[in-house]
Amino acid sequence: MRVRGSSRERRIAGRGRRVALAVGLAAVVGPSAAAAAPAYAPVDRPGPALGVPAATLARSLDCSPGIDRAARTPVLLVHGTNANVTANWSFTYEPALRARGVPWCALSLPDWATNDIQVNGEYVVAAIRAIHRRAGRRISIIGASQGGMVPRWALRFWPDTRPMVDDLIGLAPSNHGTAVFRDDTCAKGGCKPAEWQQRDDSAFITALNSRQETFPGISYSNVYTRTDETVQPNLDDRGSSSLHGGGGRISNVAIQEICPAATSEHLMTSATDGIAYALAIDALEHDGPASRERIAANGCNQGAIPNADPIGLILYLPTLLSGAGATGDVGREPLLACYVTASCPGDAPPVVPGPPPRLRLEARPRRLVAGRTTPVRLTVRADDGTAVAGATVRLGRARS
């Protein structure tokens, strides 16, 4: 809309138009935006029944000898996005833990952990319960990338799992998502569902960190690298991987705090990095989370992951990079499960609206008649053209 006339008339008309547009936009967008933000479930509300068949959940867990009536704390290994259990752990932490006499179970997430992370959370819930039951004692968890983050979804929305877990150790975990996926990467060409959910502005990440990030009685060790090209930002303990508050005992440690010259990137943090391994073992073998002070004594001289198979990295790296078992790209983030919200009834359908759509404001008519006020229809539309809401305001245009 153009306004002609003297500079004073243009200023007055422009100011009136801005006020009218602001009022109209507030009336249109305000209620919609307020309704889009859900109130999240209380942290002590019992979790819902698992939707994945029990037989499927049972088949997803591969355990070493020594799990039943375990003589020491068993470890659950959870792989990351675009990986599988063999490529992530079979040549690294499985032989290393076996050599230390630590019993372990490795969890295989569906579709290489590229589909809905909420479903992956059910696998973790079932694994925690199963290992705890078999071992007769609390368990610890070591997870890579998404695998270090998704156990927190289980702990957040299934509170019965919290007394079952002693340590949660994340190796480059995506606890607060990543800016890498946010910067229009997904909007331009589509992303895997789990990539949408690991955007740092996703509905999933917001729900994951709602109310409190950690829980009393659990030790959280978050190992990250400042040269991570996938989970960003991660330059300090205010970055994506780190956790704060909530009552848990927390240690956020950058590999570079131990060895300033270290250059491990995202994948290598769990696949080859001896400092990350040393911090993980320190957490397993001491009360509380990993201690940078205990590990710093050896600085850069931590050595490789003991008993790891270097040939395994050569064999499985192409597999890790190929994404051969991944699900296809989709156009938006999966909807949040109903149990995430405070208002969800026990038998409600499993989804509620996810993040609010991008909105644009339309005004009709776009031109005003000089010397009179004109009713102008303001309409807010979503990306797909759907009218979200509307309001009519009267705008005036000064005479030329």
Reported as a single tens digit per residue, the pLDDT across 136-185 is 999 999 999 999 999 999 999 999 999 999 999 999 999 999 999 886 67
Half-sphere exposure of 138 (CA within 13 A, CB side): 14
Return the structure tokens found at 90: 């079979």
Specify whether the CB–CB gap between 156 and 43 falls below 8 A.
Answer: yes
Side chain identity at residue 271, one-letter code: A
CB neighbours (10 Å) of residue 82? 24
| Alpha helices (H) in the chain, listed in sequence order | 7-36, 54-59, 85-89, 93-99, 117-135, 146-157, 179-182, 185-189, 193-197, 203-208, 255-258, 266-271, 274-285, 292-296, 310-322
Which helix or strand (DSSP H or E) is residue 163 part of?
Answer: none
Reported as a single tens digit per residue, the pLDDT across 110-143 is 999 999 999 999 999 999 999 999 999 999 999 9
Mean pLDDT, rounded, of the chain: 85
Instruction: Assign 64 to helix, strand or coil.
Output: coil
CB neighbours (10 Å) of residue 130? 20
Beta bridge pairs of residue 378? 363, 391
Return the structure tokens found at 169: 């150790």
Confidence of residue 347 (pLDDT cuts 50, 70, 90): very low
Q: How far apart are CA 377 and CA 366, in angstroms?
A: 9
CB neighbours (10 Å) of residue 256? 17
Can you spell out the DSSP letters for 292-324?
A: HHHHHTTTT---SPTT--HHHHHHHHHHHHH-T
Specify whether the CB–CB gap between 276 and 254 falls below 8 A.
Answer: no
Confidence of residue 10 (pLDDT cuts 50, 70, 90): very low
Instruction: Assign 276 to helix, strand or coil.
Output: helix
- Tell me if the pTM is above 0.85: no
Reported as a single tens digit per residue, the pLDDT across 250-298 is 999 999 999 999 999 998 999 899 999 999 999 999 999 999 999 999 9
Which has more pLDDT, 354 or 105?
Answer: 105
Confidence of residue 7 (pLDDT cuts 50, 70, 90): very low
Q: Are strands 165-171 and 104-107 parallel, antiparallel or unpaired?
A: unpaired
| Gyration radius from the chain CA atoms | 26
Mean pLDDT of 201-218: 97
Q: What is the pLDDT of residue 35?
A: 43
Q: What is the pLDDT of residue 325?
A: 78
How is residue 329 annotated by DSSP?
P
How is residue 341 annotated by DSSP?
B
Q: What is the pLDDT of residue 184?
A: 67
CA 326 to chain centre: 18
Q: How far apart are CA 213 and CA 92, in angstroms?
A: 29
Q: Among 193-197, 285-289, 357-361, whose mean pLDDT is lowest?
A: 357-361
Which helix or strand (DSSP H or E) is residue 382 part of?
Answer: strand 373-382
Reported as a single tens digit per residue, the pLDDT across 66-123 is 999 999 999 999 999 999 999 899 999 999 999 999 999 999 999 999 999 999 999 9
